Amino acid sequence: MHCSGRLRFSIAIVALLLAGGVGASETARKQLRSGQSSAAVRRRDAARDAKAPAKPLPRGRTVYRYTTKRRAQEETKKGIPPGAHMTSRAPVGRPPGAGRAKQQYGLNRRPEVRETVHVPQGQPAKLNKALGGAPGKGELTSSRRIPPKSIKKVVPLKK
């Protein structure tokens, strides 16, 4: 079925209102306007990550990883698997609430904890923009497992 631009815009407005337009996150509004689902954003992210070359970090870097309690427990024993997403840097201060972290970094679901991770010098990493996240927020992925000793702290997040 072919839709005119005006009809698509009207459908997007109705969907925005049904989604709670005033309280909906800016990211969700942008995705509705562009017609992208969160699954489409994840596919774009995975395709971009596959193409981007991993370069060794010139020096160690401290980053955050937002995840569930269960996954954090596994990672403190086995390390962070290759391809896992982390923030590009670790700003000092109190962690954002779970909802704010989800919004800022374009996460699929609300995280339960924030891991503080020291990515060692020489670790192959890809630095990109956090797709679906707030402007200026970056992400880091590594093509090799990050050892468990690199996880320095796990902090529970407020709802």
- The pLDDT score that the predictor gives to residue 42 is 72
Of 30 and 149, the one with more pLDDT: 149
- Chain CA centroid to CA 92, Å: 18
Q: Could you tell me where the DSSP H helices lie in 4-140?
A: 5-18, 26-34, 38-51, 69-78, 98-105
68, 112 Cβ separation under 8 angstroms: yes
pLDDT tens-digit series, residues 87-122: 999 988 888 899 999 999 988 889 999 999 999 999
Phi, psi dihedral angles at 49 (to 5 degrees)? -65, -35
Residue 18 to residue 8: CA distance in whole angstroms: 15
Which tokens belong to 58?
Answer: 């010139």
pLDDT at residue 5 in the model: 55
What pTM, to 2 d.p., does this model score? 0.72
Nearest to 104 by CA among 83, 140, 129: 129
For 74-96, what is each residue's pLDDT tens digit?
Answer: 999 999 999 898 999 998 888 88
Tokens of 84: 């896992």
- The pLDDT tens digits for 11-61 are 555 454 444 443 334 554 454 445 567 777 778 777 877 777 889 999 999
Distance CA 139, CA 126 (A): 8
Burial class (CB in 10 A: 0-12, 13-18, 19+), 99: middle
For residue 7, the model assigns a pLDDT of 53
**N residues, the chain:** 159
